[in-house]
Amino acid sequence: ERSTFEERTPASAALFQRACRVMPGGDTRYSLAMHPYPSYVEKASGTRLYDADGNRLLDLIYNATSLIHGHVHPRVTEAIREQAGRATAVLAPNAAQIALAEQLCARVPSLQRLRFTNSGTEATMMMVKTARAFTGRDLVLKMDGSYHGTFDGMEINATAPGSARGVPYTAGVPANLADNVIVGSFNDTDGVVSLIEQYADRLAAVIVTPMASIGTWIPPTPGFLEAIRAATAAQDVLLLFDEVIAFRVAPGGAQQRYGVTPDLTAYGKVVGGGMPVGAYGGRADVMAVTDPAGGPRLAHAGTFNGNPVTAAAGLATLELLDAEAYQRLERVGELFADGLRDAFTDLDLPLAVRQVGSLVSVATTDRTPTGWAEVNAAMRLALLNRGVCGWGVFALPTVIDDAEIDEAVAAIHDALRVPAAALREVPVG
Ligand code: PMP
């Protein structure tokens, strides 16, 4: 697969060589650093990407889930163009951000007040700082392995599986930041509830992604979110949802789909319509700590916060997300997940498919092959060679049609034939 990839992508190879001379690893995002080099995309339209060598690819991830109507949607692009022609950034508030805030607050009842940031990372960071400022406590409980962006206060996992003590999972984070974090295990209802009770008087908040992002996406087991909600409410601890990805699963986001209301929620990705974005908000009394009028206890500045071009793109995107769009997202998600399950059954692969609306993820079952990481890497290349971009976690847009779903499943089925042998040969435990 590697030599086929190299034959298909000489222009990407040349771009990567250039990139490595000016950027460590040739990129500014961790996720794209793939072997032997990334595929450079020059143009995108609808469901398709066109790389620097003219190869046409079917996109299955849409900039890490941030484009829910596909690439360069005419309505979104027109909104961007129109706003960009008027003003791109001004040191003054703008009406576009009010309209986007109104639209989000109308969809999500728990959003009484919200503020904009430039990324999901900043949104989770400000959400945690807001919870600490409001409660006057420092401890935050997070789930082991959960990703909340590159905010150092949350780049912490358990010291060992099952331990509540944390340790930074990346260099550059002072070890003592872990002193402010308690680590629980997603879907371990009893364990998390008892941690909340044990640390209640020092705990500012519990942060949880309703559909956990732990390498793969894991839906909550029934009762898990409800139990954390009840336990935090009983102890005056705030419940924070990270819906940076999960917002897309219902008009009111994951909290609507699962029927559990947090105190604060962080957003990103689709709410910016493909432009850089973040937002967070919730209870008015909690968010008041950022209100300058009362003499703010928590400063929240940001040169590009509430950017009007982002707001225009986000608003156009949300306006397109009507009842019909959500029905379509459910249907394509189910169609794709069913297709993948059939393919894995046909190939006798120990892979599980999880689907919530348009989010679909693949993970090894309990019989986890030890060589999964290599198989995973091989799959990315094998799929690019078959005209498909993305593997492992998938986010489908409203604009993908049934034939394209079939095309994606067929490519994955074919690509897995080679690693399938490897998968079956690897000892499973
Ligand atoms: N939280 C979650 C659950 C995410 O998936 C991400 C990004 N993948 C972030 C936070 C961070 O968002 P951003 O990349 O916009 O900083």
Measured from the Cα of 146, ligand 1's closest atom is 3
Check pocket membership of 142 for ligand 1, CB cut-off 6 A.
no
Check pocket membership of 46 for ligand 1, CB cut-off 6 A.
no
Q: What is the pLDDT of residue 419?
A: 67
Residues forming a β-bridge with 216: 214
Check pocket membership of 208 for ligand 1, CB cut-off 6 A.
no
Question: How many residues appear in the chain?
Answer: 429
Q: DSSP for 95-116?
A: HHHHHHHHHHHHH-TT-SEEEE
User: Quick check: 152 and 207 in contact, CB under 8 A?
Assistant: no
- Predicted ipTM of the assembly: 0.99
Is residue 232 domain-shared with residue 380, that is, in the same domain? no
Is residue 276 domain-shared with residue 369, that is, in the same domain? no
- How close is the Cα of 268 to the center of ligand 1, in Å? 7
Tell me how far apart the alpha carbons of residues 124 and 117 are, in angstroms, rounded to a whole number.
10
Is residue 225 domain-shared with residue 140, that is, in the same domain? yes
Tell me how far apart the alpha carbons of residues 404 and 388 are, in angstroms, rounded to a whole number.
10
Is residue 28 domain-shared with residue 177, that is, in the same domain? no
Q: DSSP for 181-212?
A: EEEE-TT-HHHHHHHHHHHGGGEEEEEE-SSE
pTM check: above 0.80: yes
Check pocket membership of 51 for ligand 1, CB cut-off 6 A.
no
Q: Which among 265, 297, 320 is the end of a domain? A: 320
Tell me how far apart the alpha carbons of residues 302 and 256 are, in angstroms, rounded to a whole number.
30
Is residue 312 domain-shared with residue 361, that is, in the same domain? no
Q: Which among 273, 298, 320 is the end of a domain? A: 320
Strands (E) located in 36-192: 41-45, 48-51, 56-59, 113-117, 139-143, 156-158, 166-168, 181-184
Residues forming a β-bridge with 403: none
pLDDT reading at 423 higher than 80: no
pLDDT in tens, 115-142: 999 999 999 999 999 999 999 999 999 9
Check pocket membership of 244 for ligand 1, CB cut-off 6 A.
yes
User: How many angstroms separate the Cα of 102 from the Cα of each of 110, 120, 248?
Assistant: 13, 19, 17
Tell me how far apart the alpha carbons of residues 74 and 411 are, in angstroms, rounded to a whole number.
28
pLDDT in tens, 14-67: 999 999 999 998 888 865 547 789 999 999 999 999 999 999 999 999 999 999
Q: What is the pLDDT of residue 296?
A: 64
- How close is the Cα of 105 to the center of ligand 1, in Å? 21
Is residue 364 domain-shared with residue 384, that is, in the same domain? yes
Check pocket membership of 242 for ligand 1, CB cut-off 6 A.
yes
Which residues, in sequence order, are CB contacts of 293 under 8 Å at separation 6+? none
